[in-house]
Structure 1
Amino acid sequence: MDVEILSRIQFALTISFHYIYPPVSIGLGLIMVIMEGLYLRTKDPAYEQLARFWTKIFALTFGIGVATGIVMEFEFGTNWATYSRYVGDIFGSALAAEGIFAFALESGFLGILLFGWNRVSPVIHFTATLGVWLGSMFSAVWIVVANSWQQTPAGYHIVGEGMEARAEITDFWAMAFNPSSVDRLSHVWIGSFLAGAFLIMSVHAYYLLKNRHIEVSKKAFKIALAVGVVASLSQLFTGHRSADGVAVNQPVKLAAMEGHFDSLAAADMYLLGWVDKEKQKVSGIKIPNGLSFLIHQDFEAKVKGINAFPEDERPGQINAVFQFYHLMVGIGMVLIGLSLLGCFLWWRGKLFDHRWVLKAFVVAVLLPQIANQAGWFAAEMGRQPWVVYGLLRTSDALSKVVTANQVIFSLVLFSLVYSLLFALFIYLLNKKIQHGPQDGEMIDQRPHQREIVDAIQS
């Protein structure tokens, strides 16, 4: 393999591993805010018990997410030096904004969230939880803005020539609100809410199957299910908006996602299939002219196909883009079905009566993670051969002094370290889940502490 392919594989490994954790943190943060808010409103100690328990798991995912995110920033300089110089002004602004508006907010309140139980009032602790969650949301904003600028550049001009060329910001807000950033951000946020909701439903469905922590698990499951229903249905809207944006701004990517080769013809929409790039055919189940209707609300509308673009501007792995995109969409529909099934059973008063339903929710924890990963792979592979769409090719973005052997060595090393780190994460996560919420624990020990102080003073 050449340096380009190896460097792409290495970055795909590191970003895929990192992207396991931030969506879970964002989703857990939302539900922790809801749990603490319910405690403040109802004074039911079960909600604080749940908030305490999920704060421990949030801390675990948050910590590994931060550690693995730092690695990618070094890769920009080692493997992708030309890219770093080209987009440094853009990425520097976005990452600076993340540090000022997001990471400072998260880190400022994180200590209170983790160590403030029994040390600050419930209202202050709730405020800290809200601040950490909002910080994680803002962090996603600037990362998605930076990535979206690569997909749909705006608010810039190019200075320098040849290998010394680089993009400079001319309009910060045009850069931040580039044509794809808002749609992609809403899609990422909702995918994160689904990741958090289905993790909570999975764990508490497991407890219910084992007849453990029954009362608190029923409360937690219902909260997460409500979030899951709203988020899964909202993902239909954000996904459609995002696809419409791809059709306008990156039509060759849309053509690859749908396996549409004809240069200008009405396009079918495949529910599943297999793309033969050489024969330029797709075998599978389709809705005739469905893509034309989805984009233009007209079954006869013409849609640009892959053959309408020069060969050197087409994605290299069309079938992979097609499969990842359809995997994401298929899982999205399954999540909608599961959420609506749970909602229906809740309405009928039989939510926890069927063991097979609980078992399905236990396993479903994997689905949002797979969908999030598949969506990113479809977006990034569909952008090829560009690292900055229409401006900088991936092959030109590499560091000129890095060799294939160096990349192979670091790739093997990353694989070993990440495997150990993931094993440690699973071990610690399982340990916390097996321990579970602390039944019988005095949730609010402040009155007890005051009694001790009064006794000492008397």
Structure 2
Amino acid sequence: MDFLSNTVVLSRMQFALTAIFHMLWPVLTTGLGIYLVIIEGLWLKTKNKDYYHHARFWVKLYVLNFGIGVASGIPMGFQFGTNWAPLSEAIGNFFGSIIGFEASWAFMLEAAFLGIMVFGWERVNPIIHYIATILVAIGANLSTFWILTANSWLQTPAGVELVEGKYEVIDYVAAVFNPFMINSVMHMVLATLETSLFVIGGISAWYMFKQRHTEFFSKSFKIVLVVAIAVAPLQIYVGHLSGEQVQEYQPTKLAAMEAQWETIPAGQSADWSVLAIPNEKAERNDWELKIPQALGYILELKPTLSKPVLGLKEWTPEQRPHLLGLIYYAFRTMVAIGFFLAGLMLVTIFEWMRGKLSPDIIAQQRWLLGGWIFAAPLGYIAIESGWIVRCVGRQPWTVYNTIRTSDAAANLPPGNVLTTLIFFAVTYTLLLFAAFYFGRRIILKGPNLELPLPGETTPILGVNPGQFKPDQRPTEAQQ
């Protein structure tokens, strides 16, 4: 229990708790925002009322995730001024501006137009409403851009100069477009979109599994499937590019990801460790299952290496990551889920080509629908695992190879940090239960298919009720 008296460890635990919990909510709003743009665009194009009802249904889950994401995200910003004040003082000239951009450019844009997207259906012109939905989606994804830019700079700092313990920006463009930035942003955007697709697909599969609104949810199921055809394999490819960057810029992290103790010289083949039991004290793996030559194919798409893979023994214990088992298996969890989702997508496409996804028989494909229901939470696990690899694997550095984590933490009384850690744990547990409770209510209630289209009951600016076909207008009983 020595960690209870260690301020640095407690501050790391607190930031990990807030980050892991907060990450659950923007993931869905980022990808679901794109889906809402697609579904509302289909409604405007086709005037099919099902697409309108889809937009009204899925936006409820968007608002729920947005609200909890805001509540859980605020403490993260404050921690930079409390638990990590020395770090903020050192990197604030650049890092602070990027976090400010996220708040002013992204979050404010999303929040400003969210009200129109949620409550403006009967109050504004449909085109204006669609523009609001697009701006909400842009704001949500801009948050991803700025947050990943800031974190990528911590991984590969660029465009700055250290002057008397503080970073001064000498090339802002180089700092923003640091070596990790582009692939990191792409990897995260695809991850949020893929996770959202399989959440939407999983919920749609659940309705069809229960034979509720089968025809209605077969539409959303097929829409996410079409998008997943591009997203799932592209995510695997971008993940490969990210791995190449880790090999080049953070060799200690790669060694930790692979539990590789000995250096593999260039020109040799490299086996890939599928499973292992890393032993940090003995500096070896107690047990290991390997695939011959596979690491060369993973890193360079060929059996022999053109550049060496450095082993952990190249660095002293103080200069390399710890918690190797966590890093090692978090990486494998992320990869396994990525391939599972891509495989599920391919199997579903095959069933679609066989005509098994038509609304009248799709409910009979219970094994397939069950697979999608099972896959719904897997994207979250993959994303959290990826962030564990990204941040724990960066240790012992907060700014890679420049500022050690032990020097970045504020000198606070351990008891104070432990108190706030417990407070956050309790608060976030309550928020999690609230999210499950209200999310369950939304899903169990289902969509309101009797909801009239905008302009049918209350004329709104720029909308002529006569533009809708007779079968798209409400009956007298519905009115």
Q: Structure 1 residue 264: deviation in Å?
A: 3.8
* Aligned equivalent of 1:428: 438
- How far apart are the structure 1 equivalents of 2:241 and 2:28? 23
Matches within 5 A, 1:303-322: 303-322=309-328
Matched, 1:355 2:366: yes
Instruction: Give the C-alpha shift of residue 237 in structure 1.
Output: 0.9
Tell me the SS of whatever aligns to 1:448: coil
Aligned pairs (5 A) from 1:48-127: 48-127=52-131
Task: Check the 8 A contact 2:283/2:313 in 1, yes or no.
Answer: no
Runs of 4+ in 1 over 4 A off after TM superposition: none
Cα drift, residue 350 of structure 1: 0.8
Determine the C-alpha separation between the residues in 1 that align with 2:220 and 2:299: 39
Query: Is the contact between residue 205 and residue 370 of structure 2 (CA under 8 Å) also seen in structure 1?
Result: yes
The separation in 1 between residues aligned to 2:193 and 2:295, in whole angstroms, is: 28
The equivalent of 1:290 in structure 2 is 294
C-alpha separation in 2, matches of 1:102 and 1:304: 40
CA distance in 1, matches of 2:407, 2:150: 19
Q: Which residue does 1:392 correspond to in 2?
A: 403
Deviations, residues 379-431 of structure 1 (Å, cap 9, x unaligned):
1111000011011000111112x111111111111111110011001101111
Question: By how many angstroms is 1:290 displaced?
Answer: 2.1
- Pick aligned residue for 2:136 from 132, 151, 162: 132
Letter in 1 for 2:167: A
Unaligned runs of at least 5 residues, structure 2: 466-479
Corresponding residue number in structure 2 for 1:186: 186
Contact residue 122 and residue 458 of structure 2 kept, 8 A: no
Preserved CA contact (<8 Å) 2:98 2:150: yes
Match of 1:448 in 2: 457
Counterpart position of 2:448: 438
Q: Given residue 457 of structure 2, which amino acid in structure 1 is its aligned partner? A: H
Rate the CA distance shift 1:395–1:121 in 2: closer, same or farther, 3 A: same
Shift of 1:314: 0.6
After TM superposition, give the deviation of residue 445 of structure 1 in Å. 3.8
Give the corresponding residue for 1:22.
26
Contact kept? 2:154, 2:398, Cα under 8 Å? yes
Identity across matched positions, percent: 39
Does the aligned pair in 2 maintain the 1:264–1:308 contact within 8 Å? no
In the TM superposition, residue 114 of structure 1 has moved relative to its aligned partner by: 1.0
User: What is the one-letter code of the residue matched to 2:310?
Assistant: K
Aligned-partner Cα distance in 2 for 1:168–1:31: 40
Distance 2:354 2:429 in 1: 44
Task: Say if 2:256 and 2:312, in contact at 8 Å, map to a contact too.
Answer: yes
Letter in 2 for 1:271: V
Structure 1 letter corresponding to 2:124: V
Moved more, 69-78 or 296-305: 296-305
SS at match of 1:271: strand
Aligned position for 1:338: 344
In the alignment, which residue of structure 1 is the partner of 2:473?
none
Measure, in 1, the Cα distance between the counterparts of 2:259 and 2:286.
6
2:272 aligned to which of 266, 269, 274: 269
Structure 1: tracts of 5 or more residues without a match: none
Decide whether aligned partners of structure 1 residues 282 and 127 sit closer, same or farther in structure 2, where only a CA change above 3 A counts: farther
Report SS of the residue matched to 2:322: coil
SS in 1 for 2:122: coil
Question: Over aligned residues, Cα RMSD in angstroms?
Answer: 1.7
Deviation of the 1:448 alpha carbon: 3.0
Q: Which whole-Å deviations, capped at 9, do the CAs of 1:313-346 have from their partners, x for residues lacking one?
A: 1101122111111111011111111111111111
Residue pair 2:161, 2:169 contacting (<8 A) in 1 also:
yes
* Alpha-carbon distance change, 264 to 88 in structure 1, aligned in 2, over 3 angstroms: same
Q: Say which SS state the counterpart of residue 77 (structure 1) adopts.
A: coil
Q: Give the TM-score, by structure 2 length.
A: 0.90
Task: Identify the residue that residue 393 of structure 2 maps to in structure 1.
Answer: 382
Tell me how far apart the structure 1 counterparts of residues 423 and 105 of structure 2 sit (CA, whole Å): 34
User: Would you say 1:151 and 2:159 are equivalent positions?
Assistant: no
Q: In 1, Cα distance between the equivalents of 2:229 and 2:332?
A: 21
Conserved? CA contact 2:277–2:287, under 8 Å: yes
Aligned length: 447
- 8 A Cα contact 2:273 2:288, kept in partner: yes
d(CA) in 2 for partners of 1:280, 1:334? 30
Aligned match for 1:406, one of 409, 416, 440 = 416
Q: CA deviation at 1:211?
A: 1.6
Distance, in Å, in 1 between the alignment partners of 2:211 and 2:264 is 59
TM-score by length of 1: 0.94
Question: Could you tell me how far 1:297 is from its partner in structure 2?
Answer: 4.0
* CA deviation after TM superposition for structure 1 residue 126, in Å: 1.3
Q: Is the 8 A contact 1:193 1:227 kept in 2?
A: no
Cα distance 1:98–1:279, how it changes in 2: closer, same or farther (>3 A)? closer
Q: How many angstroms apart in 1 are the aligned matches of 2:423 and 2:22?
A: 16
CA shift digits 1:353-374 (9 cap, x unpaired): 3112112211211100000000
**Residues of 2 paired with 1:172 and 1:94: CA distance?**
11
* Deviation per residue, 1:128-150 (Å, 9 max, x gap): 11110011111111110111100
For 1:358, the aligned partner's letter is: L
Partner of 1:202: 202
Displacement after TM superposition at 1:230 (Å):
2.0
Cα contact 1:259–1:282 (8 A) shared by 2: no
Aligned-pair CA distance for 1:270 = 2.4
How far is 1:308 from its partner?
1.9
The CA distance in 2 between the partners of 1:364 and 1:294, in whole Å, is: 25
